[in-house]
Chains A and B, each alone.
Chain A
């Protein structure tokens, strides 16, 4: 619709555009509407007019003023992405550092309807493959864990780096009978929405099942008891509140 409207508009205004491009600025001001029939070339024609008198702001001043305004807006909003400028982000929407455990949350545990499921005593992580097994949280945490600094990049336009500690996904994949070339699908407790995601290729080897975030037990809004985190993945695919992992 927009493209169609623009094309139609250009079709109607083509004589004006042609006249405007041909006219010399000293001779004519195309923005001054004078009866079109005084000129065979165009609907708008001012003939020969003296250059406008500008006692106050001229064109350069307008550029400077608008540029300054845009500059102020950029400086006071860019802090939501460029962390060192966060302190002057007077008009910035997001303050990443004020999120729980230093990381903002898009989907809270309440809005994902996982509050009771994620805190249940009988929570288990189910891993399927050629040798399937099930882990309690204690069993999972007794496995080898590593710390990695991964960014969380949300498709809604923000990103923040954080220290994630957890169990390398590849360890569980191997125990289930797979290897680094396996296709892994993880499932969340979340009943609907983005409640599962797929890992293939190098991400299988790089991903963590995070139990800790910035040196604290990962909280409910960040995906307690365990969430997936891997580099080079949109935030929404770092599935939270995991319940099942399928290795194929």
Chain B
């Protein structure tokens, strides 16, 4: 394994050096600064915003009773994915020349609609589960694997 590690490490190190060399020799200082800003912003956004929110949500979720937790978790996951896609659209909405026919929709309202539908669906599925668990004794036990 040692020789594979060395071979991979040397190849990786050389490629990395080549990449950095191309980067600093072919981009002008202004572009490099912008690139640096983006890289720092990515780390700052991840560690400063996304990670704390995720960890905080996880801690808060632990307090939710297990029966309803998976529905809340699912709704939060779907909602987060939709929101991540919608944020840049909201930020740039109505900024383009009209003839491009681009970014003309009301993405804030559309995001609210989609999040509302997600919440409603999760609630409905949870309600269904609660109802099924309350079926009269004697009824065959409900298999919940499909959730």
Binding site for B on A (CB under 8 A): 1-12, 14-15, 18, 55-57, 61-62, 64-66, 68-70, 72-73, 76-77, 89-100, 104-106, 108, 110-111, 221
Verify if B54 is at the interface (C-beta below 8 Å from A): no
B80 CB contacts on chain A under 8 angstroms: 69
Structural contact, B20 and A1, CB atoms closer than 8 A: yes
- The answer to whether A99 and B99 touch across the interface, beta carbons within 8 angstroms, is yes
Distance A98 CA – B111 CA, assembled complex (angstroms): 21
Q: Which residues of the partner chain B approach A65 to less than 8 Å between Cβ atoms? A: 73-74, 77-78
- State whether A4 touches B85 (Cβ < 8 A): no
In Å, the complex CA distance between A90 and B116 comes to 13
A147, chain B: closest CB distance, angstroms: 23
* B5 A11 Cβ-Cβ under 8 A: yes
Q: How far is the CA of A110 from the CA of B98 in the complex (A)?
A: 12
A-B pairs, 9 with minimum CB distance:
A1-B19, A7-B12, A4-B15, A4-B16, A8-B12, A69-B81, A56-B69, A11-B8, A99-B101
| Complex interface: chain A residues within 8 A of B11 (CB) | 4, 7
Contacts of A62 in B (CB 8 A): 77
- Determine whether the beta carbon of A8 is less than 8 Å from that of B13: yes
Query: Can you give 28 A-B contacts (C-beta < 8 A)?
Result: A4-B12, A4-B19, A5-B12, A5-B16, A7-B8, A7-B9, A7-B11, A7-B15, A11-B5, A14-B1, A14-B4, A15-B1, A55-B66, A56-B66, A57-B70, A57-B74, A61-B70, A61-B74, A61-B147, A62-B77, A69-B78, A69-B80, A69-B82, A90-B105, A91-B89, A94-B102, A108-B97, A108-B100
- Residues from chain A with a CB closer than 8 A to the CB of B4 are 11, 14
List which B94-144 residues lie within 8 A (CB) of chain A: 97, 99-105, 107, 110-111, 113-114, 118
A77 and B85 contact, Cβ closer than 8 Å, known pairs A90-B110, A95-B101: yes
With a CB–CB cut-off of 8 A, which chain A residues contact B1?
14-15, 18
Tell whether, in the assembled complex, residue B69 and residue A8 are in contact, meaning their CB atoms are under 8 Å apart. Answer: no
Given known contacts A1-B19, A11-B12, A68 and B74 CB-to-CB distance under 8 angstroms: yes
Residues of chain B within 8 A (CB-CB) of A10 are 8, 12
Tally of B interface residues using CB under 8 Å: 48
- Whether B51 sits at the interface, judged by CB under 8 Å, is no
Which residues of B are interface residues toward A (Cβ below 8 A)? 1, 4-6, 8-9, 11-20, 23, 61, 64, 66, 69-70, 73-74, 77-82, 85-86, 89, 97, 99-105, 107, 110-111, 113-114, 118, 147
Query: Is A93 a contact of B89 with CB atoms below 8 Å?
Result: yes
Q: How far does the alpha carbon of A12 sit from the alpha carbon of B16 in the complex, in Å?
A: 15
Whether A104 lies near B102 (C-beta < 8 A) is: yes
Closest Cβ of chain A to B68, distance in Å, is 9
Whether B100 lies near A99 (C-beta < 8 A) is yes
Residue on B nearest A219 in the bound complex, by CB = B99
**A104-B99, A108-B97 are contacts. A66–B81 as well, Cβ < 8 Å?**
yes
The interface residues of chain B lying within 8 Å CB-to-CB of A70 are: 81
